A and B are shown apart, each in its own frame.
Chain A
């Protein structure tokens, strides 16, 4: 196996894992604390990408684009929370799933009306377009930026949840809603804030991926399923679980797609390996999920009390 290629794919897997974490952390936060299943989380990911694309094209600078797009995405999150999510908190998960499914259709079509049916490419500034040489390995600098930004967001989130007053409220709100309201804290604002935070995280993931894939309608639809796999494997509601599972799924998926045929060739004919490897690697993360759930039906790190 080629070591250079392996390193590159390892970093690609890490990058995918971190992007997945950004999406999954919002999903698991919103579910863990608000007990709300939000399929339209994927649409917020897409909106983040489009909003960032617009700002970037307008200002001619990707970094400014991201910095402006983040609060706008948070604002969209607040509106979604107020209009669609809040009336559904008291409903069962089925209602939530269906309504947010409808919301996806609405947001996707609205995005199409605003930005047109074709995707929008997001240009990067020159200093991000280049390559970085690390030992024998050449890497696109933007990918390193994604990894860095993803790690920083993850660290920030851990700090927020574990060491701040807001984080304390979030953790208390998850286990005891009445206690939080008895403390005189407006639980509605807390919920809105958590929802907006989740939206921003998903939006950030969309913004970071946009320069690579471009912003396009429906770009969130496959991500959301993988994010579901992540939070199922990690344990729904667990931030730590989401982080570990996201990296695991990101790495397994990326490495599986590039190296599974090589591994298969060790034990079967070249032809058999080449036909079966793509199919198996496409299913790999689902097989992992099934295996985890067969032994731990509530994921690797189920939150203590639910």
Chain B
């Protein structure tokens, strides 16, 4: 019960506060909230496999980056070459982002999921780095320097150049992502991936091909991150390989753990606290990584179960 109230409160605050700030002349806060909500979607997707499936992916930033480039590259071809208007249509770009990341998840997942434990952590990280270097090596799309997205995704009924509408889309997408994950983890499929997290051998001797279930979850998670990436590209209008750096993947993982892995709201809380802290600390000192890193270590050492765990201790409720 307490948890439901918290969920509603957080989501209501995210629905109301940023637009109010924006309309009262504090556009900066809407920006912050947009980034937060988009990264929240990525964290929610990562949590599907990390928190519920026990697959510690250290490469999810690659999916975000690929999703962003799936918006940026067609737009670039539209601007400088002869690509048709479809190339700036969100109705083409977003499906491309989802399809490309799903395919990448499928291909890498086939190999990654053959491995266990620390191998999995490292190999997901390595594959993400592979994409990073691939993009760096393609000079056409800016290489290291990145790519400016001149034209945001064109969508019917929505104008993403309007910060409020972009935020609205991101917010609704977050709700959908949370709903999807909540639905999946409660379903028969979700029971299987959670069972495989708890005891893979047992699940296999029961008759579940856990590899196939894991792979499916991995692809869903990757595709959702790709979608978040498409939104992020539209938000920043500047994309670069830096988005896929392994430290970005680490940050996504930290959001999940900070908020509470294996809970639907946790990653959103984690993303919120992460982004706000980053903002506050970096406004105080340029060396904000120092207190931030110390905090990260402290959270791992002392806050088991993340913020959701802390909340449960304070206000009751499961987990």
Q: A225 and B290: CB pair below 8 A?
A: no
Q: A293 and B293: CB pair below 8 A?
A: no
Q: B134 and A297: CB pair below 8 A?
A: no
Partner of A110, one of B127, B246, B290: B290
Q: How far is the CA of A299 from the CA of B56 in the complex (A)?
A: 19
Report B-chain residues with C-beta under 8 Å of the C-beta of A99: 296-297, 300-301
In the assembled complex, how far is the CB of residue A248 from the closest CB belonging to chain B, in whole angstroms? Answer: 15
Decide if the interface of chain B is mainly helix, strand, loop or mixed.
helix
Query: Which A residue sits closest to B133, measured CB to CB?
Result: A282
Residue B5 lies at the interface, judged by CB distance under 8 Å to chain A: no
Q: B137 and A94: CB pair below 8 A?
A: no
In the assembled complex, how far is the CB of residue B55 from the closest CB belonging to chain A, in whole angstroms? Answer: 11
Q: B287 and A109: CB pair below 8 A?
A: yes
Query: Which B residue sits closest to A235, measured CB to CB?
Result: B119
Interface centre among A37, A283, A298 (most CB of B within 10 A): A283
Partner of B297, one of A106, A113, A283, A289: A106
Residue A135 lies at the interface, judged by CB distance under 8 Å to chain B: no
Q: How far is the CA of A87 from the CA of B119 in the complex (A)?
A: 22
Q: A94 and B257: CB pair below 8 A?
A: yes
Query: Which B residue sits closest to A35, measured CB to CB?
Result: B118
A contacts with B, residue count (CB < 8 A): 45
Q: How far is the CA of A284 from the CA of B137 in the complex (A)?
A: 12
User: Which chain A residues (210-244) contact chain B, with CB distance < 8 Å?
Assistant: 221, 225, 228-229, 231-232, 236
User: Which chain A residues (152-169) contact chain B, with CB distance < 8 Å?
Assistant: none
Residue B254 lies at the interface, judged by CB distance under 8 Å to chain A: yes
Interface centre among A37, A97, A108 (most CB of B within 10 A): A97
Q: How far is the CA of A294 from the CA of B123 in the complex (A)?
A: 12
Excluding A102-B296, A106-B297, 15 further A-B contacts by CB distance (< 8 Å) are A37-B118, A39-B250, A84-B297, A87-B301, A93-B117, A99-B296, A102-B294, A102-B297, A106-B293, A108-B289, A112-B287, A279-B137, A283-B130, A293-B111, A294-B111
- Can you name 10 A-B residue pairings with CB atoms under 8 Å? A87-B301, A94-B253, A98-B253, A98-B257, A225-B125, A232-B122, A279-B134, A283-B134, A286-B126, A297-B119
Interface residues of B, Cβ cutoff 8 Å to A: 50, 56, 58, 108, 111, 114-119, 121-123, 125-127, 129-130, 133-134, 136-138, 245-247, 250, 253-254, 257, 287, 289-290, 292-297, 299-301
